[in-house]
Amino acid sequence: LAESSQSEPFVCYTHYRALAAANDPAARAQLAQAHRALCRQADELRDPALRECLLNNGPAHRGIVEAWK
């Protein structure tokens, strides 16, 4: 994965958190973008265990998954 695509979920999630804290309605769109980017990364992994690890490894990835539920 390119470095920019690897960091996209984190950047979008950070924007989401800032917008959500300000009660900005654009927050949901940022969360959706973070979730899509994270899912794209997970889809590139063939091994289910690695996919699960990616989705739950690190506070930003866990935060995206939890906030999206």
> pLDDT (tens digit, 9 = 90+) per residue, 31-40?
999 999 999 9
pTM of the model: 0.86
Provide the pLDDT for residue 1.
46
pLDDT mean across residues, the chain = 91
Whether pLDDT at 2 is above 60: no
Q: Is the dihedral of CA 41, 66, 57, 21 positive or negative?
A: positive
48-57's contacts with Cβ under 8 Å and 24+ in sequence apart are none
pLDDT of res. 5: 74
Per-residue pLDDT tens digits for 46-67 = 999 999 999 998 899 999 999 9
